[in-house]
A and B are shown apart, each in its own frame.
Chain A
Amino acid sequence: MPIQSYLFLSFSLFAIGVMGVLMRRNAIVIFMCIELMLNAVNLLLVAFSKVHADPGAQVFVFFIMVVAAAEVAVGLAIIVMMFRKVNSVDINILNRLKN
């Protein structure tokens, strides 16, 4: 399969992820979009690993997965705490950092 298809898929996934982060109001959906961006990068890395026959990139993918998992844990914990405070995950209500 030509490399361009992988690139195209990876870029579209990333772009959808970015747009989701910018446009959605639900905090959990924003997190899912961040995961989407990370996975797009993973795909790209694996594709290029095959092209350059370099297994190092695949090792890097494992690292990224681990970091993503940790980040999700921490982020969801923060959202749970905010939910307990204001009973919502709408980011327009989460504006305690104002001024």
Chain B
Amino acid sequence: MTQLVYLVPLFPLIGFLLNGLFWKSMPKKLAGIIGSTAILASFAVSLGIFFEVKNGAAAGQGIVHLFDFITVGNFKIPFAFMVDQLSAMFLLIITGIGFLIHLYSTSYMHDDEGFTKYFAYLNLFVFFMLLLVLGANYVVMFIGWEGVGLASYLLIGFWYKNQEYTNASKKAFVMNRIGDLGFLVGMMLTVYHFGTLSYNDFFAQLQGGIGAQTQNGYMIGTGMTNAIAICFFIGAMGKSAQIPLYTWLPDAMAGPTPVSALIHAATMVTAGIYMIARSNALFNLAPMAQNIIAIIGLATVLLAASIALKQNDIKKVLAYSTVSQLGYMFLALGVGAYVGSLFHVMTHAFFKALLFLGSGSVIHAMSGEQDMRKMGGLGKHMPITKFTFLIGCLAISGFPFFSGFFSKDEILAAAYAKNPMFYYLGLLGAMMTTYYMFRAYFYTFTGNFRGTEAQHHHLHESPAAMTIPLVILAILSLVGGLVGLPEVFSHHHLLNEYLSPVVQNFDIHHLDHTMELTLMGIASAIVLIMIYVARVITRKEQFGEAKGLAKVLENKWYIDELYDFVIVRPLAWKSRILNNIVEQKGIDGGVNGLGQLVQWGSTRLKNLQSGQVGSYLFAMVIGIIIIFAIGIFGLLYM
């Protein structure tokens, strides 16, 4: 089955081609079926691969070579897939959740006239994401990396007739690109120093540790490893929305809600984490980079959570929540808890997709309304959505024994072991998370309905195609934590054991059991307290004009305005100068001037042709005399 891994990205590619080429004539039902079954088929193959890998394949063995992509002298970059525990895990997440979201979309988007195009784009996205996680070298990963950026652009600006939405998609793409520059520079540094871009070669050379020799004759030093690691992290910053390249993600909510669920919660934004986890051999040798990652991750957690406290659009709350949770994952990577981070990737994919799909269900019922101030009391009309959304909120807050509890606590415990300050700040973030999530829950599903009469009439539970994914994801959010039970509960941390050939995890034996239990207890108590606080505050249902700190939070700390002032405006000014002066006067002037010169010259020369035969004859005679003279003088001097 491992040899058939090329089928996994092939099915979505075929789905994209079918839906994309025949979008005019494709009936809607067929488009949905093609899109969804492509992913389902990929999921089936991924399951097969997972079980094969689980039963023992050593790290670096499962390379499936497709063809030689680039060959320059001795330097070879093959187009090859690597099948190991890490990529198998991501395959399952991507295809599994991808399938549920395709199913959900068949119902959510059924009114839309761009239905077929939508499924084509979704399949394209899944294809590139699969390439990203399956690559056996950084080049194939980069192909997938760029491709998901493209698919994200296409899908965010899906309703392209709206100028604001297309601005948001451009913003996302440009910010991604800035990060990609970092990734490319990192790749080039790697080639220069290590002479290879394929994982096995690169990691094998790194096994020598600091002071060893690379293939190209350089000595591995922390300066080199830190530089490469930081460059890679810049790439991850752009893709996974960390400070300072995070502002595109809340704007990306302009896209359809299932897109937000798939791309900006469960898959694309986790690409940065996958990249760093995959390169853990490098990052383990770059302590300065790890510190930077942890600090930026933590800062992102707090910044995004603080903004989410005051958002009124339900999707924006979830967007900032995603940025914040991604910060947790990077915090974990920064302290060396790779498995903890990947565990959180998995559980986050479950409950964030659940929350987004739930919000989509709510928006659908509210006929497109996204402002929570106009909602309220929806629980009566949409029990399944309410119940699954509640499960999602409990999971993300880290309520005991839900999946989020185990993954978040693992991260916080590792943070504590590294530096207690990280733990306290992380805990502050968890408090804010609980508060804003339950604020969203209570505003939406409890209390009195605050919308219009027309909306009230339309309120209904969503059809099965939308609620079944919700239920499945809710179950996963509940039990997903069982693969990562900490030491205190079980001797088998299943995920850690599964990933151990690929990823060296933070040594969790550092903390003794009582400490861990204390940390867990504190976290659980905090969750309960914040739920209560949220209930008390939302019961009042006061929506006044925000003042002071609240106003700053609601306006996202004015960071977008700052970027606009500091970066966008000077760039626009420079562009205007270049356009008006250099382009129009300089270059156009030059080219047009040349044309005009030729025209002037020809006007003057025109007068030679007088039509008078006499002057023609005269010219002929003069010419003959000249030739004759030259001939004579030539003969004389030759």
**A98 B613 Cβ-Cβ under 8 A:** no
Q: Give every chain A residue within 8 A of B613 (Cβ-Cβ).
A: 27, 91, 94-95
Interface residue? B73 (CB, 8 A):
no
How far apart sit A92 and B621, CA to CA, in the bound complex (Å)? 18
**B617 A22 Cβ-Cβ under 8 A:** yes
Q: Give every chain B residue within 8 A of A28 (Cβ-Cβ).
A: none
Q: Give every chain A residue within 8 A of B621 (Cβ-Cβ).
A: 18, 21-22
B596-635 CB mask vs A (1 if < 8 Å, else 0) is: 0000000000100111111011100100000000000000
Q: Give every chain B residue within 8 A of A21 (Cβ-Cβ).
A: 617, 621
How far apart sit A49 and B618, CA to CA, in the bound complex (Å)? 32
B226 to chain A, nearest CB (A): 76
How far apart sit A75 and B601, CA to CA, in the bound complex (Å)? 34
**B612 A99 Cβ-Cβ under 8 A:** no
How far apart sit A27 and B611, CA to CA, in the bound complex (Å)? 15
Name which residue of chain A comes closest to B614, CB basis.
A91
Name which residue of chain A comes closest to B625, CB basis.
A18
**B610 A98 Cβ-Cβ under 8 A:** yes
A80 to chain B, nearest CB (A): 16
> Which applies to chain A's interface (DSSP): helix, strand, loop or mixed?
loop
A33 to chain B, nearest CB (A): 10
Interface residue? A43 (CB, 8 A):
no
> Which applies to chain B's interface (DSSP): helix, strand, loop or mixed?
helix
How far apart sit A97 and B606, CA to CA, in the bound complex (Å)? 12
**B614 A99 Cβ-Cβ under 8 A:** no
How far apart sit A99 and B224, CA to CA, in the bound complex (Å)? 74
A75-96 contacts to B, CB under 8 A, are 91-92, 94-96
Q: Give every chain B residue within 8 A of A36 (Cβ-Cβ).
A: none
Q: Give every chain A residue within 8 A of B614 (Cβ-Cβ).
A: 22, 25, 91-92
Q: Give every chain B residue within 8 A of A92 (Cβ-Cβ).
A: 612, 614
Q: Give every chain A residue within 8 A of B611 (Cβ-Cβ).
A: 95-99
**B618 A91 Cβ-Cβ under 8 A:** no
How far apart sit A21 and B619, CA to CA, in the bound complex (Å)? 12
Most A Cβ at <10 Å: residue of B606, B609, B611: B611
Q: Give every chain A residue within 8 A of B609 (Cβ-Cβ).
A: 97-99
How far apart sit A96 and B610, CA to CA, in the bound complex (Å)? 9
Q: Give every chain A residue within 8 A of B612 (Cβ-Cβ).
A: 91-92, 95
B548 to chain A, nearest CB (A): 83
Q: Give every chain A residue within 8 A of B610 (Cβ-Cβ).
A: 95, 98
Name which residue of chain A comes closest to B607, CB basis.
A99
A18-61 contacts to B, CB under 8 A, are 18, 21-22, 25, 27, 30
Q: Give every chain B residue within 8 A of A91 (Cβ-Cβ).
A: 612-614
How far apart sit A94 and B611, CA to CA, in the bound complex (Å)? 8
Most A Cβ at <10 Å: residue of B606, B609, B612, B613: B613
A82 to chain B, nearest CB (A): 10
B440-456 contacts to A, CB under 8 A, are none
B391-413 CB mask vs A (1 if < 8 Å, else 0) is: 00000000000000000000000
How far apart sit A30 and B616, CA to CA, in the bound complex (Å)? 13
Most A Cβ at <10 Å: residue of B609, B610, B617, B621: B617
**A99 B617 Cβ-Cβ under 8 A:** no
Name which residue of chain B comes closest to A25, CB basis.
B614
How far apart sit A94 and B621, CA to CA, in the bound complex (Å)? 19
Name which residue of chain B comes closest to A23, CB basis.
B614
Q: Give every chain A residue within 8 A of B617 (Cβ-Cβ).
A: 21-22, 30
Q: A22-B618, A91-B613, A99-B609 are in contact. List 11 more A-B contacts (CB 8 A).
A: A21-B621, A30-B617, A94-B613, A95-B610, A95-B611, A96-B611, A97-B609, A97-B611, A98-B609, A98-B610, A98-B611
Give me the 9 closest cross-chain CB pairs, A-B, nearest first.
Answer: A98-B611, A95-B611, A91-B613, A97-B611, A99-B609, A95-B612, A21-B617, A94-B613, A91-B614
Q: List 22 A-B contacts (CB under 8 A).
A: A22-B614, A22-B618, A22-B621, A30-B617, A91-B612, A91-B613, A91-B614, A92-B612, A92-B614, A94-B613, A95-B610, A95-B611, A95-B612, A96-B611, A97-B609, A97-B611, A97-B616, A98-B609, A98-B610, A98-B611, A99-B609, A99-B611
